[in-house]
Amino acid sequence: MRDDPNQYSLPFRVRYEECGPGGVLRAAVCLRYVQELAFAHSTALGFPLAWYEAHRRFWLVRRVRLVVEAPARYGEDLMATTQVLGMRRVLARRRNTIRRAGDGAPVATAVVDWIFTADGSTPVPVPEPLVAAFPALGRTISAAPLPEPPVPADAQWTARRIRLGDLDAMGHANNAVYVDLLDDALWRAGAGAALHRYPRTYDLQYHAAARADEALREVLWQDADGWHYRLEGAAGRLRAHGRLRAGED
C-alpha cells in the first residue's frame, strides 16, 4: 500500500468454522474476507469504523460478482488483496483476489460495488476526504446492474426467516448471508453437486435490507443461463436476486 494507496492486502487462515463438508471453505466466507479487507484498507488510510459511525455514513454492498476458482481447505494460509477501481456518483467499485499464500494459486475473485449511505439507508455523495485518500475514486466507472429474469409460473416459493446470527453490526443480514441462502436453496433442491464444481460464479444484487425474524420468501429455478435466486419480503418487496453458474464463468 505504500506504493499504491488504492491497493491493500491482508492474510487469512481458513478456520474450521468457515468450512463446509469435507473441510472446504464456504463461498460466503470469501465475501466475509472481502468485507474485512475493505474495512482494514479504510482504517489504514485514516478512516476506521469509528470515523464512519461519528459521521453516520456507511458503505453498503449493492452488487457482487464472486468467482470461486478452486477449493481452499481448513488450515490453509491465504492472501487477499483489494483494489479500488473507480466511482460513479454514490457507488464505488473494488476488485478483490484471494490466493494461496504459498504458491499464489487463485482461490477466488470478487468485484464488489459499494453504495455510500447516510445512516445505512439513503445514498449520499462520497465526501472529498475519502476521494482524496483513494485516488482511484477519481476514475468514472459504468454501472453494472444484474438483469432480473421473470420467475416461472410453476416455480415453488419457500418461506424463509433471517436468524439473529445472520445479522451484522448494522442490524441487518450481512451481504455474505445471501450466498449461504442461495447455496442452501440449491442443496435443498437436490442440486448440491453444483457446489463442488469450479469455477463457480455468483452474481448477486442487493435491493433492501433483510432483518432478523422478518417473514421472507425465496424461490430458485434453473434455465440455460444457470440457477436463479430471488428473495422477497412483505408485499413482494425485493430484498435480493442472484444467479449461479457452476463449472463455467
Shared domain check, 126 and 234: no
Shared domain check, 51 and 105: yes
Within-domain flag for 1? no
**pLDDT tens digits, 195-232:** 999 999 999 999 998 988 888 999 999 999 999 999 99
Within-domain flag for 109? yes
Shared domain check, 85 and 176: no
**pLDDT tens digits, 50-73:** 999 999 999 999 999 999 999 999
**pLDDT tens digits, 64-117:** 999 999 999 999 999 999 999 999 989 999 999 999 999 999 999 999 999 999
Within-domain flag for 81? yes
Encode the chain in three state secondary structure.
CCCCCCEEEEEEECCHHHECHHHEECHHHHHHHHHHHHHHHHHHCCCCHHHHHHHCEEEEEEEEEEEECCCCECCCEEEEEEEEEEEECCEEEEEEEEEECCCCCEEEEEEEEEEEEECCCEECCCCHHHHHHCHHHHCECCCCCCCCCCCCCCCCEEEEEECHHHECCCCCECCCHHHHHHHHHHHHCCCHHHHHCCCEEEEEEECCCCCECCEEEEEEEEECCEEEEEEECHHHCEEEEEEEEECCC
Within-domain flag for 2? no
pTM greater than the 0.85 cutoff: yes
Within-domain flag for 151? no
**pLDDT tens digits, 130-147:** 999 999 999 999 988 999
Number of domains in the chain: 2
Within-domain flag for 210? yes
Could you say which of 138, 168, 203 is where a domain stops? Answer: 138
More confident residue, 21 or 184: 184
Within-domain flag for 149? no
Within-domain flag for 144? no
Shared domain check, 65 and 23: yes
Q: Which domain holds residue 119?
A: 7-138
Q: What is the pLDDT of residue 2?
A: 57
Q: What is the pLDDT of residue 63?
A: 97
